[in-house]
Amino acid sequence: MKKLLILSFLLLLSCGAFAQKLDVKASLNNVFRYGNGKENNTISEYSKEYLENLGDARLKINDFVFGMRYEISDPIEYGNNFKGIRKRYLEYNNLSENVSIRIGDFWDIVSRGLTMNVFEDRGLAYDTGIDGVRVTYKRTFGEKNPIKTKAQILGGDITYTDFLNLKRTETYKVRDANFEISPLKNLNIGVNYVYANGSLMGNDLKTLTGLKAELPEGYMSLNYKNLNFFYSYAHKHVMTEANPLYPKNISAFGNGMYSSLSYSTSGLGVTLEYKNYRFDLVTPDQRDRTRPTKMLPFQNPPTGLKEHTSTLISRNPHVVDFNDEVGAQLDIVMAPSDKLSMNLNLGLASRHYEYQNTDITGWQYRWERINRYNSFLPSLREQLSPFWEAYFETEYYASEKFYAKVAVSRQNETIYKEEDPFTSEKVFTTTVPVELRYSLTKDYTLKIIFENQWAHNTTHATTPDYTSQFVALSLSRSPNLTLTMNTEFSSDKDDPTGKSSWYMGEVSYKVTSTQVVTASFGSEKGGLKCTNGICRYVYPFNGFRFTISSKF
């Protein structure tokens, strides 16, 4: 079927090309990466080398686009080695007919991603791209009071490689139907429906669990003067087949809700977000990240948390549990003048319920949920693994030459262990990042970043209380050269590498307006890295890195 579709598409391409004047455009983006050094997996240090080259080519002929990625990742930095054509697609876009058709590989997001959000992040070895077909049609009815509509269907295969265990895979055949309508100028209403057949590999890397999933979703957005309101609700039903790991058929239900309310006016912006993710509420003994009833990899809702650029604040990110998490975030941006702006962010999240062991023999765990009437609200109760953050930042453009940014962040998180509460992990951090930038001359600019963090971690046996400092000094010459020196220090004697200091030097040179060469040498501390709520631990690295980014 797919071959027939591709042949039909190629025939359509040739007919369209010869029937009108050709408008041909071509582009190529290429990234070459090389690294060589030592990596530490917290147990031992070993040699680490990677060589990657990704070439993304795009050819546009009138309304038709052909694209492909040729990849050489041998060895790859994160993921499985690969040589050959990784991605390829054919696309037809006709603005006059409001039609778009794509055959091949693609990523997509529907609404805010509660039922469909597939993306790629090579830094995490994460890819949920779809290999299939996507058809989109848009049309506006009426002129005086126009009604805008959008309809989209997509289907294809997803082969998801577990980025935390590269030997474990999940495969899905996905079908998605989406419809949106704007009956009023400031109102948009949409529905989405996802149906999937899947096969999940268990932790034993042998047992496969078959499943069927249905995910309907409804959402709406409303704009009124300076206000914007968004609401989305999704339902999830997963039916699994019995196997040695799961001896009985399972029929599991879940749901998720996300909403935001924003207000903006001159010099002020306020956003309130609320999330209530209950895609798979299970007892503590069932919280296995490979269980078939979990949130599926082609889902990826908003995290409802602030994303930080600070190095030390990002060291201890909160890992969102989309299966069981309720939370809220308030973000306020103020600009009293053209030179001064401020940002206040408050966030809170927790699990919905706590559990108690009702087994009176003391030989096993028999968990019983303790219901609470206000489970739709996040709680600071320790048994619910709460996380909260308070962040304040101010930016000041003193003159054309001088810029300053100062912030303070407080984060508190508890990861509660029901089996043994005394081993629960509590992490409290207070961080003060400062950034100063000064233009020495018309061409030279000096930037200094200094961050200090005071931390407390109950799992650190030797130094539960410790401090960390990060200093970055950067000198840039416009428009092509940047020199950077990063240093980091920590009094944490429980660091798995046994080190207390890290140094990194980097040179970036813009050869042309479309070609940049970057080289670095030194040591990197490593730690958790997160994108869109997907997190993995990046091991410390000591060595050389080289990158060439080119656009043609």
The DSSP line for 478-512 is: TTTEEEEEEEEEE--TT-TT--SEEEEEEEEEEEE
Residue 342 CA to residue 329 CA, distance in Å, equals: 17
Where is 3: in which H helix or E strand? Answer: helix 2-19
Long-range contacts of 475-478 (CB under 8 A, 24+ apart): 475/444, 475/445, 475/446, 475/447, 476/444, 476/445, 476/447, 477/443, 477/444, 478/442, 478/443, 478/444, 478/445
Position 368 in a domain: yes
Biggest CA–CA distance in the chain, Å, is 82
Position 129 in a domain: yes
Examine the domain organization and report whether 185 and 208 are in the same domain.
Answer: yes
pLDDT for position 367: 92
Position 344 in a domain: yes
Last residue of one domain, picked from the residues 478, 494, 510: 494
Coil vs helix vs strand at 13: helix
Last residue of one domain, picked from the residues 494, 515, 544: 494
Position 22 in a domain: no
Contact at 8 Å (CB) between 531 and 121?
yes
Position 409 in a domain: yes
Beta partners for residue 45, in sequence order: 40
Q: In terms of Cα–Cα distance, which of 331, 453, 442 is closest to 392?
A: 331
Where is 397: in which H helix or E strand? Answer: strand 387-397
Report the DSSP pairing between strands 208-224 and 481-490: unpaired
Residues constituting the chain: 552
Within 13 Å, how many C-alpha atoms sit on residue 107's CB side? Answer: 14
Residue 175 CA to residue 214 CA, distance in Å, equals: 10
Q: Which domain holds residue 107?
A: 98-267+276-302
Q: How far apart are the first and last CA of the chain?
A: 35
Coil vs helix vs strand at 10: helix
Examine the domain organization and report whether 118 and 255 are in the same domain.
Answer: yes
Examine the domain organization and report whether 426 and 460 are in the same domain.
Answer: yes
Examine the domain organization and report whether 126 and 225 are in the same domain.
Answer: yes
Examine the domain organization and report whether 335 and 355 are in the same domain.
Answer: yes
Where residue 113 falls (left for φ over 0; alpha for ψ -120 to 50; beta otherwise) is left
Examine the domain organization and report whether 291 and 307 are in the same domain.
Answer: no
Structural domains of the chain, count? 2
Position 56 in a domain: no
pLDDT for position 1: 45
Residue 449 CA to residue 406 CA, distance in Å, equals: 10
User: Cα 413 to chain center, whole Å?
Assistant: 20
Q: In terms of Cα–Cα distance, which of 272, 551, 263, 312 is closest to 449?
A: 312
Residue 214 burial by Cβ neighbours in a 10 Å radius (0-12, 13-18, 19+): middle
Q: In terms of Cα–Cα distance, which of 220, 5, 195, 182 is closest to 116?
A: 195
pLDDT for position 536: 87
Residue 263 CA to residue 226 CA, distance in Å, equals: 5
The DSSP line for 216-258 is: EEEEEEEEETTEEEEEEEEEEEEEE---SSS-S-EEEEEEEEE
Contact at 8 Å (CB) between 193 and 215?
yes
Position 541 in a domain: no
Contact at 8 Å (CB) between 48 and 78?
no
Contact partners, residue 388, CB within 8 Å, separation at least 6: 346, 347, 348, 349, 380, 411, 412, 413
Examine the domain organization and report whether 239 and 338 are in the same domain.
Answer: no
Examine the domain organization and report whether 297 and 417 are in the same domain.
Answer: no
Cis ω on the peptide bond leading into residue 386 (within 30° of 0)?
no
Question: What are the structure tokens assigned to 111, written together?
Answer: 């609404």
Position 253 in a domain: yes
Examine the domain organization and report whether 257 and 394 are in the same domain.
Answer: no
For tokens 């966030």, the residue is 347
pLDDT for position 10: 52
Last residue of one domain, picked from the residues 494, 511, 538: 494
pLDDT string in tens for the chain (552-residue length): 445 445 455 555 555 544 557 889 999 999 999 999 999 987 888 999 999 999 999 999 999 999 999 999 999 999 999 999 999 999 999 877 899 999 999 999 999 999 999 999 998 899 999 999 999 999 999 888 899 999 999 999 999 999 889 999 999 999 999 999 999 989 999 999 999 999 999 888 889 999 999 999 999 999 999 999 999 999 999 999 998 888 889 999 999 999 999 999 999 999 999 999 999 999 999 998 899 999 999 999 999 999 999 999 998 899 999 999 999 999 999 999 999 999 999 999 999 999 999 887 777 889 999 999 999 999 999 999 999 999 999 999 999 999 999 999 999 999 999 999 999 999 999 999 999 999 999 999 999 999 999 999 999 989 999 999 999 999 999 999 999 999 999 999 988 888 899 999 999 999 998 999 999 999 999 888 888 888 888 999 999 999 999 999
Q: pLDDT tens for residues 344-396? A: 999 999 999 999 998 877 778 899 999 999 999 999 999 999 999 999 999 99
Examine the domain organization and report whether 455 and 314 are in the same domain.
Answer: yes
pLDDT for position 12: 52
Examine the domain organization and report whether 353 and 464 are in the same domain.
Answer: yes
Residue 424 CA to residue 211 CA, distance in Å, equals: 34
Using a cut of 0.85, tell me whether the model's pTM lies above it: yes
Examine the domain organization and report whether 210 and 312 are in the same domain.
Answer: no
